[in-house]
């Protein structure tokens, strides 16, 4: 037991003092700070820059311009402002005058009107140096559509009442039956669950990959430098294995606590609460079951993949060969991560349901189903039971492989060679 604690403490001290670990922790913390404040920053930048100044030739298409201006005036925060520009009568001279207005920074772009195919409303082109997207583009298109409706009314001699009835939007809502009964999730709760699912899946994937690679690389480095031969004489192989995994796990949890703390502090800032509320996200509506599931599945996923990476590291004699040897496990991890992200739009699909019972995928997909779908209790219990049984089986197998592989040098052993060597040991 003392040797186990010695290996754990040594592993923790080595990782906590490592420059790469500290650099990665700081870098990811900064990225989380930026991501947590991203909605506020986007809103600040978009509003701070003011409305986009869109030019038009003064006197041209006066009725259309007036209709567009009226529509923009009804918007609480218009992103577009029309600016009249004096220009000569000739087409080439007019284009040159508008381009010069852009160069003088009087406008960002300008509207060019050409005869339309229907003869009622002209075709409109926006010309600028940069791509015109976002709220400003949508508002301008909506304003032009309103102007076209006015033109159609005059051409068809429709009354304003008839036009209002014609263009009135259809009232359409999507509700779940249990939401009507007061037992289901509201739209705000669903949006919050989607965001939390995104975050947990990314953190789980990053933790599994980084921690697993650290365990495997350290074992391989010690084996290649022959330090492993000295360690085996003083510490039993199984104590080495579980000491490394547990030490790395504690460090990973400490790192995760830092990431969660950084995110919670930034998300709790007043300006971020307002920004996320405008997006329909309320972190106070998070279901506690999701948080408990996130912790338990994180623990299960970590130990499942940590044992696999440790076993692989014990079979490799050179650090240069580690990436190739770990490729199958890496691909399995990537598959589980990508399947979970593709399943965000259809968490109830048969494919996601079946894959959630596969132990290599269940840490990702079971949490996805708990957060965004409503699996039956027996489905959750069955998936968890398979996952726990797999962890025990893989832990037992990894222990045998580790005990055998740490003293096997040269090329990677084949399955037959490894099986024969494992028969000589008992875990």
What is the DSSP code string of 176-192? -HHHHTT-S--HHHHHH
Whose tokens are 């060969």? That residue is 321
- Could you please report the per-residue DSSP string of 209-263? HHHHHHHHHHHHHHHHTTHHHHHHHHS-HHHHHHHHHHHHHHHHHHHHHHHHHHH
How confident is the prediction along the chain (427 residues), in pLDDT tens digits per residue?
A: 567 777 788 778 877 877 777 888 888 888 888 877 776 676 666 544 567 888 898 888 888 888 888 888 888 778 888 989 888 878 888 888 888 898 888 888 898 888 876 666 888 888 888 777 777 788 888 888 888 877 777 766 767 777 677 667 666 565 555 545 555 555 566 667 777 787 788 888 887 888 888 888 877 776 666 555 556 556 666 777 788 888 888 888 888 888 888 887 877 777 766 666 655 566 666 677 878 888 888 888 888 888 888 888 777 777 777 778 788 888 998 998 889 888 888 888 889 899 999 999 999 888 888 888 878 889 999 999 999 999 888 888 887 777 776 666 555 555 565 565 555 544 4
Say what the pLDDT of residue 427 is: 44
Say what the pLDDT of residue 385 is: 93
Say what the pLDDT of residue 387 is: 92
Cβ atoms < 10 Å from Cβ of 9? 13
The domain locations on the chain are 52-167, 186-422
Say what the pLDDT of residue 383 is: 92
| pTM for the full predicted model | 0.65
Helix (H, G, I), strand (E, B) or coil at 82: strand
Pairing relation of β-strands 123-128 and 109-114?
A: antiparallel
Say what the pLDDT of residue 9 is: 83
Give the strand order in the sheet containing 80-85.
Answer: 80-85, 52-57, 109-114, 123-128
Q: Tokens for 366?
A: 């079971």
- Could you please report the per-residue DSSP string of 124-144? EEEEESS---HHHHHHHHHHH
User: Rounded distance, CA 183 to CA 179, Å?
Assistant: 6
Helix (H, G, I), strand (E, B) or coil at 111: strand
Say what the pLDDT of residue 225 is: 62
Say what the pLDDT of residue 163 is: 67
Instruction: Name the fold adopted by 52-167.
Output: D-Maltodextrin-Binding Protein; domain 2 (3.40.190)
- Could you please report the per-residue DSSP string of 9-47? HHHHHHHHH-HHHHHHHHHHHHHHHHHHTHHHHHHHHHH
């Amino acid at each position: 037991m003392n040797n186990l604690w010695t290996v754990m403490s040594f592993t923790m001290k080595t990782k906590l003092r490592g420059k790469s670990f500290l650099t990665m922790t700081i870098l990811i913390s900064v990225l989380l700070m930026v991501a947590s404040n991203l909605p506020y920053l986007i809103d600040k930048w978009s509003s701070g820059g003011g409305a986009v100044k869109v030019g038009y030739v003064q006197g041209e298409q006066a009725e259309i311009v007036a209709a567009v201006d009226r529509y923009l005036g009804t918007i609480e925060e218009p992103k577009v402002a029309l600016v009249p520009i004096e220009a000569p009568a000739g087409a080439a001279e007019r284009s040159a005058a508008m381009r010069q207005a852009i160069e003088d920074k009087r406008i960002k772009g300008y509207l060019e009107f050409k005869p339309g195919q229907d003869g009622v409303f002209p075709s409109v082109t926006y010309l600028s140096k940069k791509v015109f997207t976002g709220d400003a583009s949508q508002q301008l298109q909506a304003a032009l559509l309103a102007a076209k409706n006015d033109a159609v009314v005059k051409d068809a001699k429709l009354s304003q009442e008839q036009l209002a009835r014609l263009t009135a939007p259809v009232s359409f809502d999507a509700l779940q039956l249990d939401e009507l009964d007061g037992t289901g999730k509201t739209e705000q709760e669903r949006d919050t669950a989607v965001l939390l699912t995104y975050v947990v899946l990314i953190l789980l994937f990053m933790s599994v990959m980084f921690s697993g690679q650290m365990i495997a690389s350290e074992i391989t480095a010690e084996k290649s430098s022959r330090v492993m031969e000295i360690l085996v004489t003083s510490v039993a192989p199984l104590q080495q294995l579980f000491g490394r995994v547990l030490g790395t796990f504690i460090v990973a949890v400490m790192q995760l606590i830092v990431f969660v703390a950084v995110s919670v502090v930034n998300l709790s800032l007043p300006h971020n609460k307002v920004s996320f509320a405008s997006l329909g996200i309320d972190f106070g509506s998070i279901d506690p079951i999701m948080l408990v599931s996130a912790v338990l599945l994180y623990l299960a996923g970590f130990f499942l993949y940590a044992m696999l990476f440790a076993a692989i590291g014990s079979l490799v004699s050179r650090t240069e060969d580690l990436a190739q040897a770990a490729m199958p496990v890496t691909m399995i991890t990537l598959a589980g991560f990508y399947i979970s992200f593709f399943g965000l739009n259809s968490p109830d699909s048969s494919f996601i349901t079946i894959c959630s019972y596969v132990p290599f995928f269940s840490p990702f997909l079971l949490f996805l189903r708990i957060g965004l779908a409503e699996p039956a209790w027996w489905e959750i219990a069955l998936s968890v039971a398979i996952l726990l049984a797999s962890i025990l089986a893989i832990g037992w197998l990894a222990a045998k492989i580790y005990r055998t592989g740490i003293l096997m040098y040269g090329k990677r052993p084949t399955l037959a060679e490894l099986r024969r060597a494992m028969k000589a040991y008992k875990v």
